[in-house]
Amino acid sequence: MSPAPGRCDTPASRRGDGSTSPVPATAEEQAGALAEYIGRAFPGWTIWQAHRIWYATGPCPQPGCGCSRTLHAPSPSDLCRRLDDTGRRARQEVPR
């Protein structure tokens, strides 16, 4: 099941719905699965985890810039909040 764009419920919070999908066995597999899940919630961002820090690399908020930016946070939920805040700010800055 894929999350709605901009929505970042963790897969663990969705268990109990009768899903038969296997749960990743190792911490590394779990982190990878969670990174993929967050990436589907925030298209255009690449998500990864290293040394217990979560990262997201994605587009620069300035139109036409062409560079990328990297966000970091201590947990997946904190990273989701940062991504959501970044997306909200980018939508507010769009010229009309």
Give the residue among 10, 45, 52 at the shortest CA–CA distance from 27: 52
Residue predicted with more confidence, 1 or 74: 74
Does the pLDDT at position 76 exceed 70?
yes
Quote the pLDDT of residue 66: 84
**Alpha-helical segments (H) within 11-65:** 27-41
Residue predicted with more confidence, 61 or 44: 44
pLDDT in tens, 13-53: 444 445 556 666 798 999 999 999 999 999 999 999 999 99
Quote the pLDDT of residue 39: 96
CB 77 within 8 A of CB 49: no
Q: Where are the domains of the chain?
A: 24-53
Mean pLDDT (the chain, rounded)? 81
